[in-house]
Structure 1
Amino acid sequence: MKNMRINKVTFTDKTIDQYSVIIDVRTPLEFKEDHIPGSLNYPVLTNKQRHEIGIKYKENSFLAKKIGAQLISNNIAKILGKIKFDKNSNILIYCWRGGLRSLSLYLVLKQIGYDSHLLDGGYKSYRKNVVKYLEETAPKFKFNQIMGITGVGKTLFLKELAKKYQIIDFEGLAQHKGSILGNIPHKIQPSQKYFETLIWEKLKSFNPKKRIWVEAESIKVGKLNIPSLIWKSMPLGRNIKINASLDERIKYILKDYKYFTSDPKLMREALRVLKQIIPKEDFMNIEISLKKKNYYEFVRALIIYHYDKAYKKTRAESSSSIFDQIYLEKINLSHIRKAINLNKNF
């Protein structure tokens, strides 16, 4: 083993496709924050173990390494009982920076006879590649935007376009609807890093010669930010504005956000935030309808006193040029399909 050659590889745009199995040996918390798409999490240290070893290392590095080796050895034994891939699998292993954690599993798998490789620089080298791509390559893509005030069915429109065209649904990737009522029950937004990984993965699958349709968004989607250079590029293409009647918008919002009317806790939390950002008189107009449980009038007031006023301040309304407009008599899939088929811009 002393003279064993360590097979190290540098992360490139083609790395993921070159391996049948990618193993992330970091802790579950590290993996949850971000990871290489498609990788499997086989932690050689648990969250608690890594934390305790880190504290011990500051007191006595030698003892910490000894205890760490014991824990890693025990955990690798458990990992060997879990892995299902066959001998011919092409395996890439990584940890935070290509150090002892990934090397430990690599050496064991290599001795068994697996075709194993170590990612040089670990997750940090992968993350560096993603950041570079989002800063240098991603802004070169050409974008078209679907625009419109809240409740006109922009996301529904975008999903229909996805059947024929390249699209990025930032709200879908962010697990948030991008408004004051944007929190989705039982959905947790990803970390900023993983959000960027999802965007990177999406862009990598696209033909750079074809335009990408997106929804005109604020740079913030819930707690997350669309990468700034992508966001700045979004309005430079064709901006198509969707319009619909107030009545249609109200009915669509009631259907799209029906979980708010069925869960008072969600509504109270949304209103708590809203109360802090709009004039007192406007908030009172919204609150009156909610107290009466007249949800149609509640959404109507929410549109008039918050959404439409807020939209006038957005980049989409204040500074983006409108290439064409579409009026939807009904906000549903049949009318959206008809609009797409009749409009020469799609």
Structure 2
Amino acid sequence: MKKGSATVAQLSEFDEIIDVRSPAEFADDHIPGAVNMPVLDDAQRARVGTIYKQVSPFEARRIGGALVAENLARHLHAHFQDKPKHWRPLVYCWRGGQRSGAFVTWLRMVGWDACQLEGGYKNFRRMVIDALAQQPATLDFRIIGGATGSAKTRILEALAAAGAQVLDLEGLASHKGSVLGALPGVAQPTQKKFETALHAVLSRFSPDRPVYVEAESRKIGRVHLPTELMEAMRGSPCFAIDASREARIEFLLRDYAYLGDDVADLQRKLGCLNRIISNETLARWQDYAAVHDLPALFTELVDQHYDPLYKRSQNSNYVRFGDAIHVSTDDLSPSGIIAIADAILAKTPVRADAR
């Protein structure tokens, strides 16, 4: 390894990680904790790339070099004036090339022990993909299943509060998983960013303790779960939350109350069901949305859509669901959810059955 460079395995050794790619590249995904200090912004990067292809590589480097120098000077003035001599940053770009190389050169000329990440973000991304293919098989998953409205995410939160290891996939995906699951004002992460966050969480788990996770389908909104994780979950021991219909509808009305704030958006989401329900039913549900009659809407959604779908899918998706440990309740209030979490912990064997 050449002087002034570092590998992905050394990320924790640095005081700061600096991503010098464009803002769009950074938004797509980045190393957790990195700060974005682009040497070329999105428009500049596009301009230099066009010149490279249409004019010549030399002309692109001549113009790009001037832009990089201007941006480097701005970053040095704005961000680095208070950094002590012993401050040690790690800098990366797409593949450890000229952008991060230029940044590191200037930082080292000042006197800081700056290093360039070998292979850049591309190497980091490869590490994430490789790890996600291996990590799930090392963990002892316990699946929390139950019909829609069983407060599974809230149960995971209660388990986490009790000290259990919890994988909140819907939290990482910023989506509740159903046709109505988009969160108001919250964009879902890109697939790459979701996988980076997932890898970071899985890396913190101990293989000697259970990891509780909600039964999910392969896709949560627009992101999908890695195949290896899905396979590990589908072969894992299960808990089934048997909550009463009335308790589930009451919980849904609390948990999805915000849907009544934007009638047009709710009607658009319901419209996504047009291929699997009749036009008459869809029209009625959209009428409920128009007059803010969420109790009638959720009651029919549970009875005519969610429950039939759950009955069709759960046993086929999770091979050990037939042997699930059942937890029954008619109380999905905050205290009732804590009681469910306590029951799950009490009924969890010390070690998982052999897969």
What's the TM-score bracket when you normalise by the shorter of the two chains? over 0.9
Contact 2:235 2:318 in 1 (8 A): no
CA–CA separation in structure 2 for the residues paired with 1:176 and 1:281:
28
How has the CA–CA distance of structure 1 residues 321 and 281 changed in structure 2, closer, same or farther, with 3 Å as cutoff? farther
Partner of 1:82: 78
How many Å separate the matches in 1 of 2:273 and 2:83?
Answer: 51
The aligned residue for residue 345 of structure 1 is: 347
Tell me how far apart the structure 1 counterparts of residues 318 and 122 of structure 2 sit (CA, whole Å): 38
User: Amino acid of the residue matched to residue 4 of structure 2?
Assistant: N
SS of 2:347's partner is: coil
How many residues get paired?
340
* 1:155 aligns with one of 153, 156, 164: 153
Distance 1:212 1:284 in 2: 42
Aligned with 1:46 (options 41, 46, 51): 41
Distance 1:224 1:340 in 2: 28
Deviation per residue, 1:85-108 (Å, 9 max, x gap): 332122111000000000011000
2:123 paired residue number: 125
Are the equivalent residues in 1 in contact too, given 2:19–2:92 (CA < 8 A)? Answer: yes
* Aligned residue number for residue 112 of structure 2: 114
Deviation (angstroms), 1:319: 4.4
Match of 1:199 in 2: 198
The residue aligned with 2:62 is 66
What letter matches 2:332 in structure 1?
I
Q: Once structures 1 and 2 are overlaid, which stretch shifts more, 133-142 or 148-157?
A: 133-142
Amino acid at match of 2:7: T
Maintained 8 Å contact 1:242/1:325: yes
- Equivalent position amino acid for 2:213 in 1: V
CA contact (8 A) 2:5 2:118 kept: yes
In structure 2, distance between residues paired with 1:138 and 1:339: 26
Unpaired runs of 5+ residues, structure 1, are none
Quick check: 2:274–2:282 contact (8 Å CA) kept in 1? yes
Report deviation, 1:139: 2.8
User: Secondary structure, in 3 states, of the residue corresponding to 2:251?
Assistant: helix
TM-score scaled by length of structure 2: 0.91
Report if aligned partners of 1:142, 1:210 keep a CA contact under 8 Å in 2.
yes
Contact 2:4 2:113 in 1 (8 A): no
Residues 311, 317 of structure 1: 8 Å contact kept: no
Given that residues 218 and 314 in structure 1 are in contact (C-alpha distance below 8 angstroms), is that contact kept between their aligned partners in structure 2?
A: no
Structure 1 position 317, deviation (Å)? 6.1
3-state SS in 2 of match to 1:81? helix
Matched, 1:248 2:247: yes
1:139 aligns with 2:141: no
Residue 101 (structure 2) aligned to one of 91, 100, 103? 103
Q: Say whether the 8 Å CA contact 1:216–1:316 is kept in structure 2.
A: no
Instruction: State the shift of 1:209 in Å.
Output: 2.0
Shift, 1:284, TM fit: 4.3
Describe the shift of the 1:307–1:290 C-alpha distance in structure 2 as closer, same or farther (beyond 3 A).
same
Is residue 87–residue 113 contact of structure 2 (8 Å, CA) maintained in 1? yes
The one-letter amino acid paired with 2:25 is E
Task: State how far apart, in whole Å, the 1-side matches of 2:308 and 2:195 are.
Answer: 30
Q: Whole-Å Cα distance in 1 between the matches of residues 315 and 140 of structure 2?
A: 17
Tell me if structure 1 keeps the 8 A contact 2:142–2:212: yes
Match among 22, 25, 28 for residue 23 of structure 2 = 28
**1:57–1:342: structure 2 CA closer, same or farther, 3 Å change rule?**
closer
Deviations 1:272-325 (A, max 9, x none): 212233333543453454455422111101111211122223245664323211
- Taking the aligned partners of 1:289 and 1:100, their CA distance within structure 2 comes to 58
Find the residue that maps to 1:277 and give its secondary structure: coil
| Distance in 1 of aligned mates of 2:133 and 2:317 | 26
Matched, 1:223 2:222: yes
Aligned partners of 1:45 and 1:72 also within 8 Å: yes
SS at match of 1:134: helix
Distance 1:316 1:189 in 2: 29
Unpaired runs of at least 5, structure 2: 349-355
Give the drift of 1:329: 1.7
1:225-256 residue CA offsets vs partner (Å, 9 max, x unmatched): 01111011013232001121222111111111
CA 1:81–1:318 in structure 2 vs 1: closer, same or farther (change >3 Å)?
closer
Task: Quickly say closer, same or farther: Cα 1:316–1:19, change in 2 above 3 A.
Answer: farther
Paired AA for residue 22 in structure 2: T
